Structure 1
Amino acid sequence: MRKAVVHLVLLLSALYSVLPLVWLVTSATKSLGDFSTTSAFAFGHWNLGANLSGLFDQDGGVFLWWIRNSLLYAGLGAVLGSLICTAAGYAIAKLTFPGRRLLFALTLAGVLVPTTALALPLYLLAAQLHVVDTFWAVFLPLLTNPFGVYLARVYADAAVPGEVLEASRMDGAGELRTFFTVALPMMRPGLVTVLLFQFVGIWNNVFLPLVMLTDPKLFPMSLGLYQWSTRVTQFPQYTPLVITGSLLAVLPLVVAFVVLQRQWRSGLATGAVK
C-alpha cells in the first residue's frame, strides 16, 4: 500500500508537469477557429506552419528580436553568472580572508529576499547610471545570484580537497590558476547545476525586463509573449501566436536539461551524499 501511494503521487506529479506541455503542443497546431471546435488535447487541422509564419511576421518580425535577446540574456547571463557564482562560492568555502563568515551570512540573507523587492532599487540604480531601457539594464543584474553562490559554496566545500589546493600552491600556482585548472574541473557538476538554475531563471524572467524596458526590440520572449497575451481579449487573433511562441520558448529549456542532465544529476547526487 505504501508503494502504491508513492507511485500514485509520482504519477499525479508527472501528469501535472507533462499535461500543460502536451496541451501546448496540440494547441500550436490549431487555427483560431479550432479552439472552439476541438477538445483541449486534440490536434487541430495542422495549422502549425501558418501559426509559425504569422508569429514571425507579426509586428514587423519582432519575435526574431525577442529570440535573439533571450539567447543573449539567458545564454551569456547563465555562463558568466554561473562562473561568477562558482568563483564566489569557492572563495567563501576554501579561502581564508577577513569577513568570510559575514559574507556567507549576507549571501544566505540574499537568498531570502524576493526578486520583486529588488526591482525598484535596481531601477533607481539603473536610472542613476543612465542605462534604463538598454540591454545592460537587464543583463547586469542577472549576473549575480545568491542561491547560486550558496550552491557553489556547498559543492566546493564537499568536492574540492584542501590538500589538492595546497599542493597546487606549493608548486607555484597562483590563486586564479589554482581555481581555473584545479578547483573548477572538480566543481564541474556543481557548475552545470548552477548554470541550469541561472539559465532557467533568466529565460523565464518577466518582472525585471518589465520594469526596465519599454523598447519592444529589447524584450526577451517571456516579456514579449506576456505583452501579446494581454491583447488576447481584445484581439483574439493573438491566441495562436502566443501559444506557438510559448512552445518555441519552452524548447531551449527542454534541450538544456536533456543535454546537461548527466552532469546536473551527478552534481545533485554528490551534494546530497556529501
Structure 2
Amino acid sequence: MDLPSIQQLRNFVIYGKYGNFTTAANAANITQSAFSAQMKKLEDLVGVRLIERSNRGSHLTPAGKLFYTKIARILGELEEAMSELPGRMGKTQPLSVGIMLSLGDVHMNRHLAYFQEHHSGASFRVYNLEVREMIQWLKEDRLDIVSLFYLPALHLEEYEKVFFGIENLVYYGPNLKLPEHAVTPQYVASQPLAQYSPQYEMNRYINHYFTSHACPPQETQAWFSTPYAMMNYCQQNRIGAILPERFLQAMGIAKGYCELEPPLRLPCYLVYKKDNPKYATIQVFVDYIRRVYHIKK
C-alpha cells in the first residue's frame, strides 16, 4: 500500500483545523493552488473523497472528519516520540498542552510562543481536541494541562482548576443585516445557523441556551468542527453562527457580529493534576497566563 507523505498529512490536518483552502494554504506557507493540488493527490492516494468542494466553499466529508481525527492524533504521537528520543531532549521535559477545539484559542497559541521565547528551556507540545477527548487525555497523563470553557456537564472535581478569563459568545453574520442592538435567542433561533458538530459539548451547551429561553428548534444549515471553519462559512454565505468574541477579534474581525441578550458567557480555566511531576513548571506557566489576563491571586 502506498502511504501519504508526512507533509501531505500535516497539510490535511491544517485544512481540517481551518476548513478553508485560502486560510489553510497561508498557514502551510504555500500557494493555494499548490495546497489544493496536494489535497487532491492525497484523495487520489487514499481513494476516498475527504473534502467536499462547491461554489459556496468547502468542508470535510464524513470520511474526511474521521480521517482528520485519527491523523491529527497519530501526527501528535509521532512528534512526541521524536522529542523523547535520546539526545533530542532538552534540560526540561516539554509540557503537553491541550486547547479546546471549539475554542479556537488563537491567543493561547500566541501566549505559548511568547512564554517559550522568554523562558529559557521551555517547550510545548500543543494538541487541539474536542473537550471530552481532551479530558480523557488529561486523565491518561497524555496531557499535562488543558485550556477550556468550564461547562457544567464536565466532571472536573479531581483536578486543580485555575480561572483566567471570561469568554463572551456573540452572534456572527457578516453577510446578514444585523440590528445595531443586542439580539435575543429567539431572533437567532429564527435564522439558519452554522453550528458546532452535534457530538461536541459546545453544541449541547449552545442548544441548552436556546431551549432554556423557550426557543423553537434551530434550523441548522451546516455543522463544523472548528470556529475557523464556521467563520469562513459565514463569510461566504448568508448565515450566522455563535462564536467566541475573543476568537473573532484575534482573527482581526471588529464588525459583523452583535451581542446576545441575555448574554452567553463562559468562564475559562486551566486544568491539571496536582500530582503531575511537572507541577512546578505548570505553576510557572499558570502564573504567567494569569498575569497576561490581569488576574490577581
TM-score with structure 1 length normalisation?
Answer: 0.23
Structure possessing the higher relative contact order (Cα contacts under 8 Å, 6 or more residues apart):
1
TM-score with structure 2 length normalisation?
Answer: 0.21
Larger Rg computed on CA atoms: 1
Looking at secondary structure, tell me which structure has more strand per residue: 2
Looking at secondary structure, tell me which structure has more helix per residue: 1
